[in-house]
Structure 1
Amino acid sequence: MSGVMSELHCPYTSLTTGNVTSRLLEPANCLQLIVFLSTELEAARLLKKPTSEPAQHDEDVLHELCLIGKALGLPEISPDAPVSELMRELETKITKLSGTVPMSPPLFKVQLQPEQWETLQELHHSMLKEYECRMRMLVTRFDVTVQSFHWSERAQVKGKPMKEVYWPLRESLTSESRITIPHLLAAREDYSRILPTCNATFCLKTRSAIQKVLMIGSVPDRGGRPNEIEPPMPMWEKRREGGGGGRGHQRWGKRDERKRK
């Protein structure tokens, strides 16, 4: 024990000096030794490099790759198989299946650098926050609208059946998005072609009898254009006494004198 204390550079002289056989006979020295070894152990754990996390990460990656291989119909993969070999088998199988399925070219074709991947991840997080905010507002409006239906007497009688129909649909509306960066990598060019719902060709294929009832007809013109607003009428005031009235009388008086002449 004295050798261990000297190698650890123990600062307590009671554990490093004196008779070796009698150093730990006193309870105070034993307690001091326990405290010192505990602090050294805690410091060693803090300074230890994380070696178990990469191993756990590799196990998770191998598990996901095994699931992909099972979905593609590959034979059962051994857990001890190297990841590089498994990736080659998956790439060969996916390339073979891609030739038999009509698919458009990938939408994302650029090879990004590590810094660009980090920027893309930050952009993804910001878009997730915006989506969550908008979705939470939409769900809140939906809840308020449904609550307003329960104000009538008829709805109060049928409140339970309405809740049984509404609540399963409400639970499916979550504010969190399930879109991840792998969805971007798997996207195809045809995903970017979004037809507007008011397109004539699109409406011919999706028109149904219910649209004749729910579709709004011609909406009357309600006005409200700034250029059509009439100016307000001026406020009428009494004529002020004095002012420029005297000058006017003088002018008329001179004209009358000229006419008389």
Structure 2
Amino acid sequence: MSDGVTIEFATRITAQCAEIRDLYEIEEYVRQPNEQNLIEFLYDLSAFLLELECPHEELTCGDITTRFSSQSSRDLLSSFLASEVKTARLVTLRKIESGEIVSEKRDLELTPVIDAAFRTLDIPKHTGNVNEWKLLETLRQKTESRVTQSQRNPLFKATLDDKTLPDIEKQCEFFSRDFYNRLLLLNSRLKVTVESFLWNDRLKIHRENIQSILSTRVEEIGKLKANSDIAHLLSANSSLLYIQKASDVSRRNRTKTKQHPLSSGEAPKDRGGRTDEMVGVKQESFKQQQHNYNRQNSHQQNRAKGTFERPKTHEEQVLEQHTSHHGQSWRGGHRGGRGRGGGRGGRGSH
């Protein structure tokens, strides 16, 4: 660098010029300096000062290589640019407050939220430059009117403070994980259901088309956001307590048939699928494995012989138990009677 101008000093000057350029929206700019482009940096700075109509001749006139060699000239340059930064900030702030300009670089995270709120409340989009405070007031009035018309009770009625906030955030994280697990479960069920239909010979010719539609639906489900925060918790109301099953009769007007078992309107069995109750498959013990192995061998032997033994009923087991002694009936001997013997009052002969 030239005499008196260092990299640190030039970098600080460049940052001040960049902020002034953004606030005033001027075309001149000062490039980031290094050891090789010192002359370019000084020329850019000189043109930028002329654009700002700098009143100090020692900063805008004279040899450009020695213009900022003295400490006093560098201090004067820093002081002038600092005052210009403050002035540019005040001018821009007044323009924003008066509605003359609407900054597109501030509140980038909040703007989509406010835009979504306006669409939800059916507030028409304003044209031209409108004071943002008036927009927020319109949003507040519309929201209060909607809340007044709603008769539902909120689910969350506790007071938010520093003590309860951590627990509430943990609960919101649990909701997010549970919702994400449900999305995964929904995708799995959707794939399994489609695969079960593709076993049909009539649908095999449409396999590619069905798979294409399935991949599109799975991709759409995957784009759903599973993030739950305090805003969702505060907006929850009592309507969420009413659960309507997807297999409800009122929702099946177009799918009911005489052959369908659900057409009678009976409540279907609980199929489970709750993410907080799902557990992995338990590993079989050695005793269970041996029992299953014996059953399989017995089935294979009977199949090879072509004989399959029907399990005996309870009546057959009782009858077999009482007739197992020498082929006698449980009522008595061969000549059976009502007594213990063979005749009406005597003993039976063996």
TM tier relative to shorter chain: 0.3 to 0.5
Between 1 and 2, higher relative CO (CA 8 Å, sep ≥ 6) is seen in: 1
TM-score normalised according to structure 1 size:
0.45
TM-score normalised according to structure 2 size:
0.35
